[in-house]
Amino acid sequence: MSKSAELAQLIRARAGAEPPEYGLVLGSGLGHLAAAVQGTAIPYSDLPGFPHAGVSGHVPQLVIGRLEGRRVAVFGGRAHYYESGRADAMRLPLEVLRALGCRRLILTNAAGSLRPDLPPGALMLLSDHINFSGTNPLIGEPSDARFVPMTAAHDPGLRAALQAAAAAEGLPLPEGVYCWFSGPSFETPAEIRAARALGADAVGMSTVPEIILARFLGLDCAAISVITNMGAGLSDEAISHDHTKAMAPLGAAKLERILRRFLGA
Q: What pLDDT, on the 0 to 100 scale, is given for residue 203?
A: 97
- Annotated catalytic, 166? no
What's the confidence (pLDDT) of residue 17? 95
- How high is the pLDDT of residue 57? 56
- CB count within 10 Å of CB 264 equals 12
* Segment-wise mean pLDDT, segments of 10 residues, the chain, 265 residues: 95 97 85 85 92 67 95 91 93 97 96 95 97 95 97 97 98 98 93 97 97 98 95 74 69 91 93
Question: By the 8 A CB rule, do 11 and 57 touch?
Answer: no
Query: What is the CATH T-level fold of the domain 3-264, as seen in this structure?
Result: Rossmann fold (3.40.50)
Who contacts 237 (Cβ-Cβ below 8 Å, separation ≥6)? 120, 229, 230, 243
Distance CA 200, CA 65 (A): 35
The predicted model scores a pTM of 0.93
Q: Given 8, 110, 195, 223, which residue is catalytic?
A: 110
188-195 own/partner pairs: CB under 8 Å, 24+ apart: 188/232, 188/233, 189/231, 189/232, 189/233, 191/232, 192/112, 192/114, 192/231, 192/232, 192/233, 192/234, 193/233, 195/114, 195/130, 195/132, 195/231
The SS3 assignment for 90 reads coil
Is residue 80 flagged as an active site residue?
yes
Domain boundaries, the chain: 3-264
Q: How far apart are CA 84 and CA 162, in angstroms?
A: 33
Task: Tell me, yes or no, if 52 is annotated catalytic.
Answer: no
User: Per the residue annotation, which of 87, 205, 214, 222 is the catalytic one?
Assistant: 205
To the query of whether residue 143 is one of the catalytic residues in this protein, the response is no
The two beta strands, 70-75 and 22-25, are parallel
Q: Which of 241, 243, 246, 256 is catalytic?
A: 241
206 is known as an active-site residue: yes
Q: How many CB atoms lie within 10 A of CB 73?
A: 27
Active site residue 241: yes
Active site residue 81: no
Q: Do 71 and 23 contact (CB within 8 A), yes or no? A: no
- Backbone phi, then psi, for 225, in 5-degree steps? -100, 135
Are the C-beta atoms of residues 49 and 3 closer than 8 Å to each other?
Answer: yes
In the residue annotation, 82 being an active-site residue is answered as: yes
